[in-house]
Amino acid sequence: MNLQAVGTSQYRGGGFERVTGQQKYVADIKLPGMLESKLVTIDCAHAKILSIDTTEAKKVPGVRLVMTAADLPQPVPRFGPQIADRPVLADGEVKFHGEPVALVVAETIEAAKEAARLVHVHYEELSAAFTVAMALDPATPLVMDPSLRPNDPLARTNIFNEYHFGWGEIDESQADLVVENTYSFPMVTQFSIEPHAFIAAPDKDGIAVWSTIQHPYWLQKILANLLGLPLSKVRVYAPDPGGGFGGKQHTKYEPVLVFAALKLGCPVRLVLTLEETFQAVRRTSCETYIRTGFTHDGKLVFQDIRANYLVGAYVDIADRVVAKGSYAGSGPYNVPTVRILSRSILSHTPPATAFRGFGNPEVNWAVESNMDEAARLLGIDKLEIRLRNLAKKGDKFIPYDKPADGDWREAVLKAADLIGWNKPLPPSHHRGISVGMKLGPTTGLSYSLVRLLGDGSVIISCGTSDMGQGARTVFAQIAAEELGIPYEKVTVVMGDTATVPYDQQTSASRSTVLMGNSVLKACHAIHAQLKTRLANVYQIDESKISVEHGKVILPDRESPISDLIRIALGKLGGELIGVGEERKDAEKDHPLGGSACFYEFNCTAVETEVDKDTGDITITRYVTVSDVGKSINPLQVRMQDEGAAVQGLGHTLMEHYIFDEKGRIRNLGAGDYRILTSMDLPKEFYSETIENADGPGPYGAKGMSEGALLCVSSAVASAVSEAIGTTIKDLPLTPERVWKAIQMQK
């Protein structure tokens, strides 16, 4: 296939606006008569609210509303993507550090902040559960009111859900070696540089909401339910988010803002501080107990995994994270028997939600670290033990799911080659190599509209959120390819539920595949219309005309679509409109409700040097290789993989929430919570792809953008443990932790 626009590194759609500062994010939008607001919180992880005194706050000049749960419809409305457990404002009890008890609305943000300080909350502090052990202690109070989950046998525990996956019966006698460990993965936050922001405004007989949301149609549904409005009266504007990483998937403070805006009859804006985003979204932390059985030659015999994920005070989407993150826990390997027990454990901590990797990095860290320990104990090379177990293309490595869909060995060998696996290392340098695999979406539904205008330019309407991954660029490239027009002539419209057709969500690295196929189908619908029209114009049979990759092939000649569009449209002109629909239906009996659309596979290899006096880790060389099927835009693929790798280095080396003894987070914000800066990068960085056009997306593409984050931790830890002669089983590998591990050896 000779491709023109696809497979090239077109400039990022919306790039011009972003380098000139013209791009409007939610916090940049000002509506006439808009009021500002501030959340009121207490410095407590768990408390019973006795009373809230708003008298003083209301006296601050410019204050228009101080809203508490008592001002909301009763009983206080609750919402959530999995279970409607979260009250619009704290309802008698604060269940995590930072849960809002009131919202102050004022003419200026200064007045709102001042009044928020003057809201006096009388409360009784209660003991908080903020670790797995605390939450599972029978003496710990229940985080969730059992009445919210009737008929649930777990309702009187802090376990929200339990999942059992696996196949075969584990028979330990078959294993020559059993490696048994417990690994912990820290609580980390998405840390989008754009903090969440929201505006709600009455809109005739409905409501309009601007949000930094990844899933505008899901938000629309939740608000419609809360307000008892038809979907058509809830308009969600979703300007391109300034980074999402999962943390902007679901409804947060839009509901309280909507109630305030309707009460006041004017627009209200809420822009979170970075500290508040830490209390709004985070990754599930996890403690994974794992036993892995091997034969003497390093073949896997069984994987026995128990993963305790700590979700927050409200479920958000975290229970799905637990299910999907642990389901493929045994990794991209052929394992004869597997037993996985994973649990979503409620706690008095900020609600965990989706975060790039969706629960997989947590368990991958344990599985891959055990592989390294087995390699060491069995005297097998770390690369070799992986190659011996890796699933080959077509292997049903998860018996009831999609067979392995890539040449994963090729990716591993490429990474090994790039890191120089068999070459001598400089003194005091060490290497690690790891593999990661994650399921793409299990269900999906994406509609698109493609309009080929009379002058040969194109408008695509589709509901994906372009939060930095560059979805606009990819869809424009597909349309340019199929309709034979320059990339620059395509405009992509997103982010308005009233004018753009439905898309289920922007997550699970789905958009290139699902929305990409939808756009492709819409272009093909235009091809069909072109044929009909041209057959009519030229008075020939439609079957004598074919259209492909932007060209019309007539019996006597070939022409670009752009040369024939005017002829095809005729005197009235107008446009051709193609509708695309791509669905991946649910599967009733599947443990996850649907099988994998594709797998994201990645191999990461690192070379490190450890300063034994300080515990400081330097990554001297870093290699990430992802199987992406086909790069629609090679530069954007590289950008995704580099970004994912550096994000993965964050939870590997430095990121974690620190709690005090009462469950309050002590390192909120950029001052005390470190993410990588330009000074913390690997000294050499290589990002490569495997492209065998074997994905289900356009031109053989697979989803990508999470893969390169999956197995960063184990690759780095493996090299570090060789350097210091002992294994660290808790992330992040902070200098303090590494230094202590070195001292313990002495």
Partner 1 sequence: MNINNQHYKLEVSSSKRLLDVLREDLNLTATKECCGIGECGACTVLVNGKAVLSCLMLAAEADGAEIFTAEGLADNGQLSALQKAFLEKGAVQCGFCIPGQLIAATYLLAQNPHPTREEVEEGIAGNLCRCGGYERIIEAILSVAEKGEEQQ
Q: Contact residues for partner 1 (CB under 8 A)?
A: 9, 11-12, 14-25, 27-28, 30, 110, 190-195, 240-245, 271, 273-274, 467-470, 635-636, 638-639, 642-643, 645-647, 669-671, 675-679, 681, 685
Are the C-beta atoms of 251 and 238 separated by less than 8 Å?
Answer: no
Helices (H), 428-560: 471-483, 514-538
Half-sphere exposure of 521 (CA within 13 A, CB side): 17
Nearer to partner 1, 270 or 675 (CB): 675
Nearer to partner 1, 263 or 674 (CB): 674
Other C-beta atoms closer than 10 Å to the C-beta of 465 total: 26
| C-alpha span between 704 and 343 (Å, rounded) | 27
Nearer to partner 1, 580 or 650 (CB): 650
Closest by alpha carbon to 219, among 465, 520, 572?
Answer: 465
Taking the complex as a whole, the smallest distance from the CB of residue 679 to partner 1 amounts, in Å, to 5
Nearer to partner 1, 110 or 736 (CB): 110
| C-alpha span between 250 and 253 (Å, rounded) | 10
Closest by alpha carbon to 123, among 230, 11, 44?
Answer: 44
Nearer to partner 1, 268 or 385 (CB): 268
Q: Which residues pair with 170 in a beta bridge?
A: none
Question: What letter does residue 44 receive in the DSSP assignment?
Answer: -
Taking the complex as a whole, the smallest distance from the CB of residue 676 to partner 1 amounts, in Å, to 8
Nearer to partner 1, 628 or 645 (CB): 645
| C-alpha span between 140 and 586 (Å, rounded) | 38
CA 575 to chain centre: 37
Under 8 Å CB-to-CB from 488, ≥6 apart: which residues?
Answer: none
Give Cα separations from 51 to 70, 102, 119, 121 (angstroms).
Answer: 10, 12, 11, 6
Taking the complex as a whole, the smallest distance from the CB of residue 212 to partner 1 amounts, in Å, to 10
Q: Which residues pair with 398 in a beta bridge?
A: none
Query: Parallel, antiparallel, or unpaired: how do β-strands 63-68 and 102-106 relate?
Result: antiparallel
Taking the complex as a whole, the smallest distance from the CB of residue 390 to partner 1 amounts, in Å, to 27
Taking the complex as a whole, the smallest distance from the CB of residue 617 to partner 1 amounts, in Å, to 17
Rg of the chain on CA atoms, in Å: 27
Under 8 Å CB-to-CB from 533, ≥6 apart: which residues?
Answer: 568, 569, 570, 576
Taking the complex as a whole, the smallest distance from the CB of residue 645 to partner 1 amounts, in Å, to 6
Taking the complex as a whole, the smallest distance from the CB of residue 404 to partner 1 amounts, in Å, to 28
Taking the complex as a whole, the smallest distance from the CB of residue 25 to partner 1 amounts, in Å, to 6
Closest by alpha carbon to 594, among 414, 696, 394, 443?
Answer: 443
Under 8 Å CB-to-CB from 153, ≥6 apart: which residues?
Answer: none
Nearer to partner 1, 241 or 629 (CB): 241
Nearer to partner 1, 674 or 737 (CB): 674
Taking the complex as a whole, the smallest distance from the CB of residue 276 to partner 1 amounts, in Å, to 11
Nearer to partner 1, 206 or 357 (CB): 357
The residue assigned the tokens 């809201």 is: 119
Strands of 251-299, DSSP E:
268-271, 285-294
DSSP secondary structure, 56-86, as one string: HHHHSTTEEEEEEGGGS-SSPPEE-SSSS-E
Q: Return the structure tokens found at 349.
A: 């901590």
Nearer to partner 1, 247 or 578 (CB): 247
Question: What letter does residue 96 receive in the DSSP assignment?
Answer: S
Could you give the angle at the alpha carbon of 665 between the alpha carbons of 664 and 670, nearest 5°? Answer: 155
For the beta sheet containing 558-560, the strands, ordered from the edge strand earlier in sequence to the opposite edge, are 546-548, 551-553, 558-560
Taking the complex as a whole, the smallest distance from the CB of residue 106 to partner 1 amounts, in Å, to 14
Taking the complex as a whole, the smallest distance from the CB of residue 30 to partner 1 amounts, in Å, to 7
Nearer to partner 1, 15 or 202 (CB): 15
Taking the complex as a whole, the smallest distance from the CB of residue 603 to partner 1 amounts, in Å, to 18
Nearer to partner 1, 486 or 669 (CB): 669
The residue assigned the tokens 């294994």 is: 727
Helices (H), 328-469: 360-378, 382-389, 408-419
Nearer to partner 1, 378 or 681 (CB): 681
Give 20: exposed, middle or buried? Use CB within 10 Å, 0-12, 13-18, 19+: exposed
Q: Return the structure tokens found at 554.
A: 């007539």
Taking the complex as a whole, the smallest distance from the CB of residue 189 to partner 1 amounts, in Å, to 10
Nearer to partner 1, 28 or 381 (CB): 28
Taking the complex as a whole, the smallest distance from the CB of residue 544 to partner 1 amounts, in Å, to 44
